[in-house]
Amino acid sequence: MHIGNHSLFLSGVFPERIRFRAESRGFPDIKYYEQLGRTHYRIAGEHRLAQRYHLEGILKTLAERFQATRRALNDMADRVLRSVIPTTRCTPCCSEPAITETPPPGRQP
């Protein structure tokens, strides 16, 4: 369930970051996170503890409706978080906020 939650959080709250990294650096794209989240919510819903605590319905619904849930989080993040995120962008055509990453010693970005 942790991987499903993590996939939903990253793709729901930070989709621009995922898109930017996928396009510029070849990292996994949104579809990867959606598939990963769906799979892990489905697996978690089939676990004996999910049945014991009556969570199988919730987890099955999250697996089936992962994309819709992610998009709802996208909308919420746009409305709530964008008001506090700086408007400086990494490039003029990118909606990704500028993030300064310091590479480890001896490595180029």
The pLDDT of residue 85 is: 61
- pTM given for the model: 0.73
- Asked if 67 and 37 count as a contact pair (C-beta separation under 8 A), the reply is no
The pLDDT of residue 106 is: 53
The pLDDT of residue 11 is: 97
The pLDDT of residue 97 is: 52
Structure tokens at 97: 């906020």
- Asked if 9 and 37 count as a contact pair (C-beta separation under 8 A), the reply is no
Which portions of the chain are predicted below pLDDT 70? 84-109
- Asked if 37 and 22 count as a contact pair (C-beta separation under 8 A), the reply is no
The pLDDT of residue 68 is: 97
The pLDDT of residue 81 is: 77
